[in-house]
Amino acid sequence: MQSVRSLVQSNVKQWRAFSSCCILMRSSQSQAQSDQSAELNYAPLTSVTEGLLQVPQPEGEEKKFSPKIESLVNEITKLNLIEVGELSDLLKKKLNLPDTPLLPVGGFSPVLTAAAPEEEEEEVSSKKVQTSFTVKLLKFDEKQKVALIKEVKNLLEGMNLVQAKKFVESAPTVVKADMPKDEAEKLKEALCKVGAECVIE
């Protein structure tokens, strides 16, 4: 029992010593922090911010670069083309950059050049699928105007000579729309024989 009592007393003494050390450490740390904050509060503003902030350059003046950057630029400009290629390869390797250029020669992106053939294919396929055509009268020969008016009257149903004359004189105009290709070609041939210039759309 005596040994337990002596053990507890020695542990209590050690505990008190330990707690007093902790209190002393806390007070010394808080004292050091207050001293540092006091120094910062009373220090002139320029000495604190001089190393942290840079004053922006006024517009119109050349930007000033650090001496390290200027020396790098000077060294790079002294390189020949072979050395520049080697530098580029080394930078790609160090920075894990891909070997393919971001923009190919000419400034067109591969996405745009790949999309262009698809658009052409769509246009070609839409022309192949086209089933209805339109014949358009662009202009006519003045010497054969009367023959053209008669031909238009005969080819277009429900049109008299006066309407056919007004129709021909209003060129360029659509003669007939929504017709099969073979009919459109026949109509174009008939009109071209009498001095008209037509297109099939």
Give the whole-angstrom CA distance, residue 17 versus residue 88.
Answer: 65
Residues 69, 32, single domain; the answer is no
User: Residue 126's CB: how many other CB atoms inside 10 A?
Assistant: 9
Q: Does pLDDT of 175 surpass 70?
A: yes
What is the domain extent for residue 145? 132-200
Tell me the pLDDT tens digit for each residue of 36-94: 555 555 444 444 444 556 666 677 777 788 899 899 889 988 989 899 888 888 988 88
Q: Quick check: is 120 in a domain? A: no
Are residues 84 and 42 part of one domain? Answer: no
Number of domain units in the chain? 3
User: 156 Cβ partners below 8 Å, 6+ apart?
Assistant: 164, 167, 175, 176
CB 191 within 8 A of CB 156: no
Residues 31 and 69 in one domain: no
| 166 pLDDT more than 60 | yes
Q: What is the pTM of this model?
A: 0.36
- Structural domain includes residue 110: no
